[in-house]
Structure 1
Amino acid sequence: MNLAARFSVVRAAVVGDVMLDRYWRGQVERISPESPVPVVDVDSTDCCLGGAANVAANVVALGAGCTLISIVGDDEAGGLLCELLERSGIQSRVMRSGEIRTTEKLRIVARNQQLLRVDFESRPTHELL
């Protein structure tokens, strides 16, 4: 049995922090008059699985079975993350809690260069986990 075929019998559990990776891509053609920073004219936006959710997606892409166990906020980002997990074919046991915020990493990119990353997150307490 070749290596790729062996993955079909593997079952993995991934436990960890999931996050939503957001990308805003565009062009920079001017500098802001308010402050010397580039102005990005956004052409496209994209969301994808990050953190432990990305690990689970990679396990599934290799052909293995995977169950992801994690927690997200009861917010828009948490709902989108759960939707992306379902579309990716990842079996998940994700708890939604109003006590935390789903971690999001927003990357602003122009000409294939990351200009800025903005993090939205709250740290869950161990009691919540």
Structure 2
Amino acid sequence: MKVTLPDFRRAGVLVVGDVMLDRYWYGPTSRISPEAPVPVVKVDTIEERPGGAANVAMNIASLGATSRLVGLTGIDDAARALSAKTE
């Protein structure tokens, strides 16, 4: 099945919402924690991606539209990382 998408290059979209930084930790597990029934992970890789409304704005931009994002963040490392990934 062929799907034809409209030309988004002339569209402008304002995205308003909760913005967050999604963090994914990857690594092997070798045991279960004695304090709680959760695996203990030796973190090898950390991946950070825009989440929430920031993810929506980036997806809109990937379709060729102009997107503007309005949201609040703190003043911390996560906010700086999110800002760098959404510029």
TM-score class, shorter-chain normalisation, is 0.7 to 0.9
Runs of 4+ displaced beyond 4 Å: 33-36
Q: Specify the SS of the correspondent of 2:28.
A: strand
Flag the 1:28–1:67 CA change in 2: closer, same or farther, 3 A.
Answer: same
TM-score under structure 1 normalisation? 0.59
Separation (CA, whole Å) in 2 of partners of 1:77 and 1:67: 20
Cα deviation for residue 35 of structure 1 reads 4.7
Q: Percent identity?
A: 51
Query: In the alignment, which residue of structure 1 is the partner of 2:79?
Result: 78
Separation (CA, whole Å) in 2 of partners of 1:82 and 1:10: 23
TM-score under structure 2 normalisation? 0.85
Query: In the alignment, which residue of structure 2 is the partner of 1:59?
Result: 60
Answer yes or no: is 1:42 the counterpart of 2:43: yes
The structure, 1 or 2, with the larger RCO (C-alpha pairs under 8 Å, 6+ apart) is: 2
Separation (CA, whole Å) in 1 of partners of 2:37 and 2:69: 43
Structure 1, unpaired ranges of 5+: 87-129
Structure 2, unpaired ranges of 5+: none
Cα deviation for residue 37 of structure 1 reads 3.1
